[in-house]
Amino acid sequence: MKNEDKLNVCISCNRDETIVPLVAITFAQQPTWICTQCLPTLIHEPQRLVEKFRSMDIDNTVDRQID
Ligand SMILES: [Zn+2]
């Protein structure tokens, strides 16, 4: 599995770092990324982000389809 071309994506909106600036965060011991436009969501509605983290499939490694 090649990782060198993998782009980081926002956990909330899934836009990648070529589109939006991403900020590294960590939550529940899981480091991830969030874009600046989603940061207000994180600040004001953290529960929505908790759901995103819960929906992350921890058992499966990231195997994103890249078009
Ligand atoms: Zn975002």
Find, among 43, 48, 45, the residue nearest to 12 by Cα.
48
Give 42 Cα–ligand 1 centroid separation in angstroms: 10
| Residue 4 backbone phi and psi in degrees, to 5 | -70, -25
Give 16 Cα–ligand 1 centroid separation in angstroms: 8
Give 60 Cα–ligand 1 centroid separation in angstroms: 22
For the chain, give the mean pLDDT: 80
pTM above 0.85, yes or no: no
Residue 1 has pLDDT above 80, yes or no: no
Give exposure, 14-50, as e/b (b: 16+ Cβ within 10 Å).
eebeeebebeeeeeeeeebbbbeebeebbeeeeeebe
Per-residue pLDDT at 63 = 55
Percent of the chain with pLDDT over 90: 36
Give 56 Cα–ligand 1 centroid separation in angstroms: 15
In tens, the pLDDT along 42-67 reads 888 888 878 887 776 655 445 555 55
Per-residue pLDDT at 3 = 53
CB atoms within 10 A of CB 59: 5
Give 51 Cα–ligand 1 centroid separation in angstroms: 14
